[in-house]
Structure 1
């Protein structure tokens, strides 16, 4: 999940999602009992061909839930003059939409009109974590798919440049605590970040320092050399942690050593409560996994949606 802009009053123009109580771990019992295995197999097959799929699915689910709730609106294609979420600037790097499409096609054969695209994405995100060595958790289901998807709404997503106050506000507006903030940011254990997302830390940082002094000096120099070719090498960047295809707590360990990429990562160390959680998760893989599963369940239970799409890319 890769999250430099300040908060805007535009945030206040949209209703934020709230927790839903109608979700159930047994929602598809008797309706579509093979749904979980069908989705898992689709994720496994895609991952065997592309090891970046898990990080892509995890980030996609996060970006979906933070806009109008977990309603699968990030899956909708732009149509006519309407530019959808997936074509908003923060979402342009998203990929692996075909994984959700393939799972949906198989589910429409097995149990047509039953499993929502939003539920598929939530379960696929869980599979992404499990397949990379992370914890398993039961995903409560029963989400509906949304009919609204606007690229302009993607300005509500937290960005790589957010400070701790902005991060807390953004998560708080979605009913998520500082505990959830630190746990969910641990999703950065998977994935890759483009140079543009951390360029501010390695070049012209401020009037006093060329590079962010909170960065480990040798690590900062390495990043600077890597990104020097940014204009020559397409998609130049770096892994979000040293084991970016494995779900572990290396992200937190590196953060404490000044070897995180994003300003929003470093921001977690600027508040005593969030810093204490970073230290806790760096020390204990088990504590991180337990917290992550708990916070993912909380985040993925945000409301949103009105229908069950037949095709995840278009409204019915």
Structure 2
């Protein structure tokens, strides 16, 4: 029997992950008997399931709350929670408590060498990048958020080396598409290109039409996280971190795809220098020499990515 802790459980990836965990009912060959959902916002409780699902609302900057999560005695941690780029740039000290310190405490207090599956990010890269960024590209973050992700990758590798946990890090490209209202997150500027026109809403895009972005659906991310959980440790790369391969498309191609699927909202390109600079600092083509051999891959095409959003946008 397995107990799973999911941080960031109220986010759209957390909700999709919960849906899949309940659907399959097992992980790593063991039945799931309990899932603990943790978030600063109230996590959504499933309507009906035989699995014991408990909701824990609290702030990961609160040391006592993090300790109480560690006391759950989890066998697997899916660590999805973090403060994103703009928040981290505004208050790096607070972001460090949420993004780095909380994970360190969870790993320090972990019992019985749990698996830790960490959603890292394309944002660990910045500066002058090659045209194609693979698993072994040296991370030089250009944001506080990216720096925190890179720190966590090193911590997870070290705690795994010490035998405290069995850690795995999946570096995510831009994940599309988060449903609901727009947010200030930079990645949401890309998501809006699909989400808003499909809702019949006009949108100002803060990127130039020719901007190349690496993207993946929420469904592909969840499938990859679950697959990465089950990969034998000896098959992981030495860093225990790898890229999730992405589709690379232009902003204009995203807009055209949304229109093909009935998007009626108008798109106006109004590039913002700050947003453009952040996205320009991210890899354009995101690949992995390890992923395919481990059963991890991108969406089949842009149509599949949009259909994934349309299928789950009301969940």
Which has the larger helix fraction? 1
Which has the larger strand fraction? 2
TM-score (norm 2): 0.28
Whose relative contact order is higher, 1 or 2, with alpha carbons under 8 Å and at least 6 apart? 1
TM-score (norm 1): 0.28
